[in-house]
Structure formats: C-alpha cells, structure tokens
Amino acid sequence: MPARMPLAIIRCNVTRLMVPMAGALCKTLPMSSLRRFKFAVPFALVLALFSPASAQVDEEAGFQGYLQLLAARARSEGVSERSIQALTAGLAFNPKVIRLDRAQPGSDPGKPPAMWTYIRTHVDPARIGGGRRELASLGAEADRIEAEYGVPAKVVIAIWGHETNYGSYKGDFDLARSLATLAYEGRRRELFADEFVALLKMADRGVPRQRMVGSWAGAFGNPQFLPTVYLRLAQDGNGDGDIDIWHSRSDTLASIANYFRDAGWRPGEPWGVRVSVPAGFDRNLVSPRLEAPSCARVHARHSLWRTVAEWKAMGIQPLAPLGDQTMAALFEPDGPGTGAFLLTGNYRVILQYNCSNYYALSVGLLADEIAR
C-alpha cells in the first residue's frame, strides 16, 4: 500500500484546483479557517471521486465512446449516415437493461423444475382460446401458409401465442438504446454489437424509428425477432411492400413460417407424440452417450434416436399416428411415470427458436390444442 501523504502538504493553491469554489474560499476565509478546511479536503475528494454520481458520469462517458465505435463499424458495413444519426443521436446508457439482464435466472445444475407446472401456465385456456380464434379467422390464409412454407398454421400461431400472447405485449424498450447498452456492458458484446448494427441496417431498409421498440433484450414485434433475424427471414405476407411484424398478422405468420422452413421443418411430420412406456423399461439402453454441440443440457434429457419401429419393438407405443421409419427420441419431462413423448426432428426446429425443453414442449402442446 502506498505511504499516506501528510495532510499538511495540502495547500490552498492545490485545493483551488480540486474542489469547486475553493478559489473563492481561499480569498475570503481567514488563515485559521483555511487550516481547518484543508484537513477536510482529502475526505471531500474521496466522496466526490467515488460517489454514485461520479460513477454514472464515467459510465455514460464510456458508453458514448463505445457508441462511436459502433457507428464507425456501421459505416464500414455501408450503413448510411442518416440512419446512424437517427438511431444514435441522444442515446444514453440504460442501467435498467443491465439490471434486468443480470436478474435472469442462471442455469441450475441441480434437478430441473417440474415441466408440467410450466406447461399449465403456458398452455392455458386463454392461450388455447386465443389461438383457436386466430386459426378460425385465418380461413384460406392458413392453407396458403402451409402450402408455401410447409409449416402448419397451428404451429406458427402457437409461437405467436407463446411469444407475445397474440400481440398483446411486445415490449416498450427503445431497441437502439437496449442493444447498445448490452453491447457496451460486454458480457455478450459480439452478439449485441452485431444486433445493433443490424438495427441500423433495418433503418436503411425503411423501418421507421418509432417502430423500433421491443423487449429489454432487443427482440421485437409479434414473433420477437432480433434484428439479424428480421433482415434475413422476415416476410411481407400481405404483399403491401412493408414488412411489418409489429402490426400485420399476415407478415407475422409468414415470417415465423419462413423461420421454421429455414431451420429445416419437415412437412407432414409432427413435432412429437405422447407414448406409453412399459413397466420395467430399461432406460440405460437408450441413454445418450455423446454431448450435443449446442444446448447440451437441453439435449442431454433426450434419449438416443431410434426409428419408431424400433421403439415399438422395445414396448414404447405411440398414442397418435407416427410413421414407423420416422426417427425419434424418447423424452420423459419429469422422469419415469410422469408422461412421455417421442420427439421428431421438428421438435429440434422449435428448439432453434428458443433452446429450452420447457419452451419447445409447451409450443408443441399448444399447437395441438389449438387444432383440436
């Protein structure tokens, strides 16, 4: 630890530089008062240097500097100066976004929470009823979506219902501010820097600034796309020349369907079916032996892949039609005896939208209920 500087060396000319109004004090106070005042200076400086207000000033200064780096990167990628200025002018660091990000539940290495508790709150009568109304009102458009993209309308609607409850809540955070803040914070800098620049490219494509609101994490619109996904996959479903996934149902559903087609959805194949598992079934025979390259903990809960015919030979009986040559994995969400499914490759497509068994299973079950 550095040696402490004797307080006596602090003189009025130094104090004048460090403490606001010190110059005026030096001119007006008698020497006896100055002697008392100089001993208070170091403590006052500590308070000033380490106060929350000072930290906020430093944070904002750092953010503004980083914003210039993002702007420079956008220019290098061909973004217009008009869009850069429109989305960065007056932008300020948002500490609320960082608090929300850090409050996200971490991965619990212990036993996962009960799946069926989650399912009951996400495959509920309100979402089922809302989805059925949307499907009924689509009419021939539902058939057109499936014919063009190969994805059933019930699945597309279930994603919409799960993401924003059919558009009832889409978020009200300024996207530019949220994405720039998350990129500056640094925990996932590359991801959010990419998304910020993509947002500027959306502006170049004509997306109005006032539309650019969404979740604190930068997702937006009815399907909660990120900017890079919007640029690559969003569709003009109604052909009006405006890709509006915030307000247009046709654009929303076509965009979700295009996402699923791009992710490899197999037309005519269900996401999975319920099955019965015989007593005494030896699960060790089908336990996974390799770790998945992504979302390892999600896929670790699935068995090895076998054809449906092979599962039947082991006593696993599908409770709905599923072709014998279809490849599938066994999944028992809450363990043996609590319900089981055979999952197809289309379940993994849902996982690409959100890599969570809770999410994917609830979307699949909601889709089935919507169509029932």
Kindly give, in sequence order, each residue whose CB lies less than 8 Å from that of residue 60, ignoring residues fewer than 6 positions away: 92, 93
Q: List the beta strands (DSSP E) in 194-235.
A: 213-214
30-to-26, 33, 34, 314, 344 alpha-carbon distances in Å: 8, 5, 6, 97, 86
What integer pLDDT is reported at residue 2 of this predicted model? 41
The ranges of the chain with pLDDT < 70 are 1-57, 104-112
What integer pLDDT is reported at residue 48 of this predicted model? 46
SS3 157: helix
252 is a domain residue: no
279 is a domain residue: yes
What integer pLDDT is reported at residue 187 of this predicted model? 86
328 is a domain residue: yes
43 is a domain residue: yes
Which DSSP category does 85 fall into? Answer: H
By the 8 A CB rule, do 330 and 340 touch?
A: yes
By the 8 A CB rule, do 223 and 215 touch?
A: no
| HEC assignment per residue over 98-142 | HHHHHCCCCCCCCCCCCHHHHHHHHCCHHHHHHHHHHHHHHCHHH
Count of domains for the chain: 2
What integer pLDDT is reported at residue 295 of this predicted model? 84
What integer pLDDT is reported at residue 107 of this predicted model? 42
What integer pLDDT is reported at residue 361 of this predicted model? 97
17 is a domain residue: yes
H-run or E-run covering 340: strand 340-343
71-to-62, 96, 229 alpha-carbon distances in Å: 14, 23, 21
What integer pLDDT is reported at residue 20 of this predicted model? 38
Q: If 0-12 CB within 10 Å is exposed, 13-18 middle and 19+ buried, where does residue 36 land?
A: exposed
Domain that holds residue 35: 7-50
72 is a domain residue: no
Q: How far apart are CA 174 and CA 28, in angstroms?
A: 50
What integer pLDDT is reported at residue 105 of this predicted model? 57
Q: Cα–chain-centroid distance for residue 104?
A: 11
Q: How far apart are CA 193 and CA 184, in angstroms?
A: 8
Torsion of CA 350, 353, 359, 363, to 10 degrees: -50
Q: What is the pLDDT of residues 1-58, one digit of tens each?
A: 444 333 333 334 333 333 333 444 344 444 444 444 444 445 444 444 445 555 666 8
203 is a domain residue: no
What integer pLDDT is reported at residue 53 of this predicted model? 57
What integer pLDDT is reported at residue 291 of this predicted model? 82
SS3 147: helix
Q: How far apart are CA 247 and CA 48, in angstroms?
A: 49
Which is nearest to 91 in space by CA: 114, 70, 75?
70
306 is a domain residue: yes
